[in-house]
Amino acid sequence: MSIWDRIGDFVIRISNSAKAGVSDLVEALRTVFEGDAELRRRVAFSVAMIALSAKMAKADGVVTQDEIHAFREIFSVPPEEARNVARLYDIAKQDVAGFEIYAERMARLCGTGHKNCAMLEDILDGLFHIAKADGVLHERESYFLKRVSEIFEISDEHYQTILARHLDLGETDPYRVLGIERGRPFADVRAHYRRLIAHHHPDRLIARGLPEEFVRIATTRVAAINAAYELIEKSARAA
């Protein structure tokens, strides 16, 4: 059974609630997948991405076609499950609870309590991918993403590295994309780069609970790291 079948069952269950909202989402995740922590993490990731995407759209006030396309790049939803995903998106968007409550509850399910929890970074990367799709990171989106990172207990320094991965490399420092200080010997940069590639390899992300359906997040991240490293390598050779 695919992750979408699981999410479909989950959405049907919470849809029976007359006041479906964040409490219903979290409680359903706890009970429906009780006894299967691995499946709960995978579904929690998916639900967090969908729900927080809806909250980000509501905070920004405008959903562009580019953002819809970016959402679909991450979520390759089978046609038979599209209605359930749309229902979950609408539940989150219409809920009177603010996005901070959603982020806090989802963070607990995804493993918060450990700084820079890997899956929470995956969620933030997915939100960035959607937010930047129209070519502009709007002020409300920037506030939303920074606040979510704080709730996820991602340090400001690491948040700046995540942010840099999503900016045009003509506008940002490639050293910041790699999360290493400028001026380090190139051998150190190369060793750091290799560790990053190993850590962020799509297979590694799947192994820690990222559903296979969302490896676009991993491949986009690795592409940004590769591009930054190539700029630094080119500069080192020219020196």
Alpha helices for the chain (secondary structure H): 3-15, 22-32, 37-60, 65-74, 82-94, 99-110, 118-131, 139-151, 156-165, 174-178, 186-199, 202-207, 216-238
Domain count of the chain?
A: 2
CA-nearest of 123, 128, 187, 190 to 160 is 128
119-130 b/e with 16+ CB inside 10 Å = b?
Answer: bbbbbbbbbbbb
Examine the domain organization and report whether 11 and 64 are in the same domain.
yes
Cβ contact 13:32 at 8 Å: yes
Q: Note the pLDDT tens digit of each residue in 120-145.
A: 888 898 899 888 887 778 888 999 99
* More confident position, 106 or 235: 235
Q: How far apart are alpha carbons 81 and 72 in whole angstroms?
A: 13
113 and 49 in a single domain? The answer is yes
- Whole-number pLDDT of residue 191: 96
Range of the domain at 170: 165-239
- How many Å apart are CA 180 and CA 157, to the nearest integer? 11
Q: Is the pTM of this model over 0.85?
A: no
The answer on 42 and 120 residing in a single domain is yes
Q: What is the DSSP letter of 40?
A: H
- Per-residue pLDDT at 20: 60
Q: The domain spanning residue 214 has which CATH number?
A: 1.10.287
Together in a domain, 134 and 237: no
Distance of CA 224 to the CA centre of its chain: 15
More confident residue, 56 or 70: 56
At residue 230 the predicted structure's pLDDT band, cuts being 50, 70 and 90, is very high
Q: Decide if 115 is inside a domain.
A: yes
In a domain, 146, yes or no: yes
Residue 201 lies in a domain: yes
Q: Which pLDDT score is estimated for 233?
A: 93
pLDDT of the residue at 112: 47
Does residue 103 lie in a domain region? yes
Asked if pLDDT for residue 55 goes beyond 60, the answer is yes
Contact predicate 54/92, CB 8 Å: yes
Taking 50 as the threshold, does the pLDDT of residue 114 lie above it?
no
Res 113: pLDDT = 47
pLDDT of residue 188: 94
Confidence at residue 7, expressed as pLDDT on a 0 to 100 scale: 75
Q: What is the pLDDT of the chain when averaged over all its residues?
A: 79
pLDDT higher at 161 or 136: 161
Contact 123, 214 (CB under 8 A): no
Specify the pLDDT at position 116: 40
Q: How many CB atoms lie within 10 A of CB 35?
A: 6
Return the SS3 of 95: coil
Under 8 Å CB-to-CB from 47, ≥6 apart: which residues? 7, 10, 25, 29, 88, 106
User: Tell me, what amino acid is at 152?
Assistant: F
Residue at a domain's end among 120, 154, 188: 154
In this prediction, residue 69 has a pLDDT band, given cuts at 50, 70 and 90, of confident
Which of 106, 128, 154 is where one domain is finished? 154
* pLDDT tens digits, 83-100: 878 888 888 888 777 889
Question: Phi and psi dihedrals of 197, rounded to 5?
Answer: -60, -40
